[in-house]
């Protein structure tokens, strides 16, 4: 029996079943396998078996993949919430580093103790039943943080030392270079001689025009490849600018332009400019262009682009320290209905306007912008209105859900039997391979097959756990008014702090689709949004159940209504009552031509037999001079998978 199990005995607080939480984590590196998570879980269960307890046990397993220093991992909030429920008798980990590397582990242990939960960290020999548990936890946190810091320093020093000696730590090759198989140093690299005249001519054109897009088009016309590791297979201005900043083109290589620092609030490692500058080595056999011309072109481009970036606020970058994926609503929430890509801020040079990312990449003709603040205001108002339109629950809803859950349960039971059978077969196959290895000795084929079976066992075990833990009964449903209140709270948070609330709104509205529309009598083109408001996630019931009356399909215009449409209904009504146009204009506070435009719009609607004056724009109208992206030589309409080509 381990030393941990010789402390005071643990007794179930409910008198019959021991509540045990097991936390398992791997960093997710290339050499780590999911089976390591299962090993940690099995180790925790073995620790429970070693305790002087023989009754029933209910396990809550939290398995995750992520860096231990990260404090913004959702499982940490899950562990904290679980501890505060006071339902766990034990929380077991291989070591505190599996929970988090840092003093936050001590804070969580304190919460556990306050709520009557005993914490066992097996490899750290920590048991919060011991009087010295707090100092033991702090010492273990120090060791885990020190291990990370020392490992990081050792790796950085080793790689930089090899780089200085020219014996390793090379980067990935760019266009115009070949890295032979097995090559460890830049001195083993080769330049592509056929690429030299193209690169030199491109640099010459860049010096003459200072236009990276022009050079990108010329590279594409020459079928010059972007490079083995480039995400884009065609050149664009960004690729050209970064290509002609690379010192390798003049036979020099640098390492250490940037380094990482820890952001202590979140535990993230953030890349920043290295104040000490890079270390440079000379590799003249890789030079494609003259050094003097290269440096002059870069000076000219830097001078031309100076002051064109994001403007500082109080001397600092306003987005410093903020992850790129965090943006204010409705950024990264609106999806283009033409090509399927997201709308991003910065449309047409306006920081608060959004435009389709596809149009910026010459892959979509929909260049119609959206006013971000106006769109947020209109969407918020529409969601509030949609909440009030959702009806109360049907009195028989719970019975209907239980019936649907029972039907789903039949399929789950069948799948559970299938998975249990597959696990049995897997165990037999693994036993046969182990037996063969003992008789025949090491075999690469057998070892690979054994590894595959172990990974398969991990997948099957996780699926089986999910099937066993799936709910069998529908919980008590809250009132529809309570759901409305919860949704209103999230919408209010959206209005107050849009960056943090964007994730919350996605639970209610997973996707906003926007598409261009135009009044039937012509004029400007605008964007209209379509989305489904769904309160089902607030119920926290099984995802397989669909509650239809908790959903509401909404369509909202993300623009200010043109004058002729805004007054059309009232103008038509007054005209039908016999009022003259001049009198109508005076009554409504608009001009007589505005009244005539409203009547003309109604006549066009009557001719077309429609009640909605807006028509969806499916292709760029020839009479609209602002949609001309499709005329550009670089334009290739490329919708994402699943969308029709147009």
- 125-183 pLDDT tens trace: 999 998 899 999 999 999 888 888 888 888 888 888 888 887 778 888 999 999 988 88
The pLDDT value recorded for residue 395 is: 59
The pLDDT value recorded for residue 430 is: 86
Average confidence (pLDDT) over 193-202: 95
Average confidence (pLDDT) over 23-33: 75
pLDDT band (50, 70, 90) for residue 3: very low
Average confidence (pLDDT) over 605-634: 92
Average confidence (pLDDT) over 453-470: 82
In whole angstroms, what is the distance from residue 305 CA to residue 454 CA? 55
Residue recorded with tokens 């939290």: 62
Q: In this structure, what are the phi and psi dihedrals at residue 471, rounded to the nearest 5 degrees?
A: -65, 145
**Ranges 260-269, 273-282, 317-326, most confident:** 273-282
In whole angstroms, what is the distance from residue 68 CA to residue 340 CA? 35
Query: pLDDT tens digits, residue range 274-322?
Result: 998 899 999 999 999 999 999 999 999 999 988 777 777 777 776 666 6
User: Is 70 among the domain residues?
Assistant: yes
CATH classification at residue 71: 3.40.50.1390
Q: Is 385 or 83 the better-scoring residue by pLDDT?
A: 83
pLDDT band (50, 70, 90) for residue 192: very high
Is residue 521's pLDDT more than 90? yes
The pLDDT value recorded for residue 85 is: 86
Residue 194 and residue 267 in one domain: yes
Question: Of 433, 452, 469, which residue sits at a domain end?
Answer: 469
Percentage of residues in the chain having pLDDT higher than 90: 37
Residue 214 and residue 139 in one domain: no
Asked if residue 548 lies in contact with residue 533, where contact means CB atoms within 8 angstroms, the answer is no
The pLDDT value recorded for residue 91 is: 93
Asked if residue 286 lies in contact with residue 177, where contact means CB atoms within 8 angstroms, the answer is yes
Average confidence (pLDDT) over 192-221: 94
Which structure tokens are listed for 485?
Answer: 């209140």
User: Is 482 among the domain residues?
Assistant: no
Is residue 496's pLDDT more than 60? no
> Which CB contacts under 8 angstroms, 24+ apart, belong to 222-228?
222/198, 224/175, 224/195, 224/198, 225/175, 226/175, 227/173, 227/174, 227/175, 227/176, 228/172, 228/173
User: Is 10 among the domain residues?
Assistant: yes
Is residue 30's pLDDT more than 90? no
User: Is 423 among the domain residues?
Assistant: yes
User: Is 125 among the domain residues?
Assistant: yes
CATH classification at residue 296: 3.90.1750
The pLDDT value recorded for residue 616 is: 95
Burial class (CB in 10 A: 0-12, 13-18, 19+), 524: exposed
Find the range with the poorest average confidence among 57-66, 166-175, 397-406: 397-406
Is residue 497's pLDDT more than 70? no
Number of Cβ within a 10 Å radius of residue 33: 14
Q: Is 606 or 306 the better-scoring residue by pLDDT?
A: 606
Residues forming a β-bridge with 25: 64
Burial class (CB in 10 A: 0-12, 13-18, 19+), 438: exposed
User: Is 331 among the domain residues?
Assistant: no
Residue 132 and residue 192 in one domain: no
Alpha helices per DSSP H over 497-646: 498-508, 563-566, 568-576, 581-588, 592-608
Residue 84 and residue 15 in one domain: yes
Residue 245 and residue 139 in one domain: no
The closest of 610, 614, 608, 604 to 530, measured between CA atoms, is: 614
Find the range with the poorest average confidence among 91-100, 301-310, 406-415: 406-415
Sequence-distant (≥ 6) Cβ neighbours of residue 644 within 8 angstroms: none
Mean pLDDT of the chain: 84
Beta-sheet pairing, 252-255 with 279-282: antiparallel
> What's the structural domain count of the chain?
3
Question: Of 469, 498, 526, which residue sits at a domain end?
Answer: 469
User: Is 197 among the domain residues?
Assistant: yes
Which structure tokens are listed for 81?
Answer: 């919430």
Give exposure, 600-638, as e/b (b: 16+ Cβ within 10 Å): ebbeebeeeeeeebbeebeebeeeeeebebbeeeebebe
Is residue 61's pLDDT more than 80? yes
The pLDDT value recorded for residue 1 is: 37
Average confidence (pLDDT) over 328-352: 86
Percentage of residues in the chain having pLDDT higher than 70: 84
Segments forming the whole domain that contains residue 252: 177-305
Is residue 494's pLDDT more than 60? no
pLDDT band (50, 70, 90) for residue 358: very high
The pLDDT value recorded for residue 401 is: 62
DSSP H/E element including 493: helix 480-496
Q: Is 397 or 231 the better-scoring residue by pLDDT?
A: 231
The pLDDT value recorded for residue 86 is: 86
Residue 281 and residue 191 in one domain: yes
Is residue 82's pLDDT more than 90? no
Residue 111 and residue 237 in one domain: no
**Ranges 230-239, 459-468, 582-591, most confident:** 582-591
Asked if residue 444 lies in contact with residue 433, where contact means CB atoms within 8 angstroms, the answer is no
Which structure tokens are listed for 279?
Answer: 């270390």
pLDDT band (50, 70, 90) for residue 646: very low
Is residue 355's pLDDT more than 90? yes
Count of alpha carbons within 13 Å of 555, Cβ hemisphere only?
8
First to last CA, the chain: 70
Which structure tokens are listed for 45?
Answer: 């269960």
Question: Of 148, 169, 198, which residue sits at a domain end?
Answer: 148
In whole angstroms, what is the distance from residue 192 CA to residue 514 CA? 46
Collapsed DSSP state (helix, strand, coil) of residue 543: coil
User: Is 108 among the domain residues?
Assistant: yes
**pTM for the structure as a whole:** 0.61
**DSSP character for 536?**
G
DSSP H/E element including 90: strand 90-93
Find the range with the poorest average confidence among 394-408, 510-524, 563-577: 394-408
Residue count of the chain, please give it.
646
pLDDT band (50, 70, 90) for residue 526: very high
Asked if residue 22 lies in contact with residue 61, where contact means CB atoms within 8 angstroms, the answer is yes
The closest of 467, 470, 472, 452 to 417, measured between CA atoms, is: 467
């Amino acid at each position: 029996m381990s030393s941990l199990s010789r402390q005071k005995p643990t007794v179930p607080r409910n008198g019959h079943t021991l509540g045990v939480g097991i936390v398992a984590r791997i960093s997710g590196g290339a050499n780590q396998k999911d089976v390591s998570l299962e090993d940690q879980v099995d180790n925790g269960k073995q620790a429970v078996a070693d305790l002087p307890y023989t009754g029933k046990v209910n396990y809550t397993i939290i398995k995750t993949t992520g860096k231990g220093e990260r404090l913004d991992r959702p499982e940490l909030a899950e562990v904290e919430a679980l501890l505060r429920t006071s339902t766990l008798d034990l929380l077991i980990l291989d070591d505190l580093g599996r929970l988090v590397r840092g003093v936050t582990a001590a804070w969580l242990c304190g919460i556990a103790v306050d709520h009557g939960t005993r914490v066992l960290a097996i490899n750290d020999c920590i048991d919060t039943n011991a009087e010295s548990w707090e100092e033991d936890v702090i010492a273990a946190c120090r060791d885990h943080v020190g291990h990370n810091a020392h490992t990081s320093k050792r790796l950085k020093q080793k790689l930089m030392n090899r780089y200085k000696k020219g014996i390793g730590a090379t980067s990935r090759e760019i266009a115009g270079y070949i890295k032979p198989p097995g090559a460890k140093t830049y001195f083993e690299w080769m330049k592509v001689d056929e690429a030299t005249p193209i690169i030199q001519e491109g640099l010459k054109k860049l010096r003459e025009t200072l236009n990276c897009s022009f050079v990108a088009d010329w590279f594409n016309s020459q079928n010059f490849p972007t490079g083995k590791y480039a995400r884009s297979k065609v050149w664009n201005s960004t690729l050209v600018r970064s290509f002609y900043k690379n010192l390798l083109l003049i036979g020099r290589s640098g390492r250490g332009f940037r380094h990482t620092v820890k952001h202590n609030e979140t535990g993230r490692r953030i890349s920043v400019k290295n104040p000490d500058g890079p270390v440079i080595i000379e590799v003249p056999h890789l030079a494609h262009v003259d050094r003097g011309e290269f440096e002059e072109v870069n000076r000219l481009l830097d001078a031309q682009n100076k002051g064109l970036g994001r403007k500082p606020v109080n001397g600092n970058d306003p987005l410093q320290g903020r992850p790129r994926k965090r943006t204010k609503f409705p950024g990264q929430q609106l999806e283009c209905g033409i090509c399927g890509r997201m709308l991003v801020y910065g449309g047409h040079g306006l920081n608060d306007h959004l435009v389709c990312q596809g149009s910026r990449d010459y892959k979509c003709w929909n260049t119609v912008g959206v006013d971000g603040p106006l769109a947020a205001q209109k969407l918020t108002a529409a969601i509030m209105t949609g909440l009030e339109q959702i009806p109360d629950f049907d009195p028989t809803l719970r019975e209907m859900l239980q019936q649907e859950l029972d039907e789903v349960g039949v399929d789950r039971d069948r799948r559970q039997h299938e998975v249990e059978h597959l696990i049995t077969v897997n165990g037999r196959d693994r036993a046969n391979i182990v037996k063969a290895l003992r008789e025949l000795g090491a075999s690469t084929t057998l070892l690979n097959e054994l590894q595959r079976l172990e990974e398969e066992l991990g997948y099957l075990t996780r699926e089986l756990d999910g099937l066993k833990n799936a709910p069998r009964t529908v919980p008590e449903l809250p009132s529809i008014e309570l759901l409305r209140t919860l949704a209103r709270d999230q919408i209010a948070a959206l209005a107050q702090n849009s960056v943090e609330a964007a994730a919350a709104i996605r639970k209610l509205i997973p996707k906003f689709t926007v598409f261009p529309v135009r009044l039937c009598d012509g004029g400007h083109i605008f964007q209209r949004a379509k989305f489904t408001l769904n309160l089902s996630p607030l119920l926290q019931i099984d995802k397989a159940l669909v509650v239809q009356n908790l959903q509401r399909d909404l369509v909202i215009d993300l623009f200010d209504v043109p004058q002729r449409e805004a007054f059309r209904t009232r103008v038509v009504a007054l005209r039908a009552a016999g009022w003259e146009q001049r009198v109508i204009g005076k009554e409504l506070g608009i001009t007589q031509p505005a009244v005539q435009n409203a009547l003309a719009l109604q006549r066009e609607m009557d001719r077309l037999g429609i009640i909605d004056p807006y028509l969806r724009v499916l292709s760029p109208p020839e009479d609209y001079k602002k949609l001309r992206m499709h005329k550009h030589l670089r334009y290739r309409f490329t919708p994402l998978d699943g969308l029709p080509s147009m």
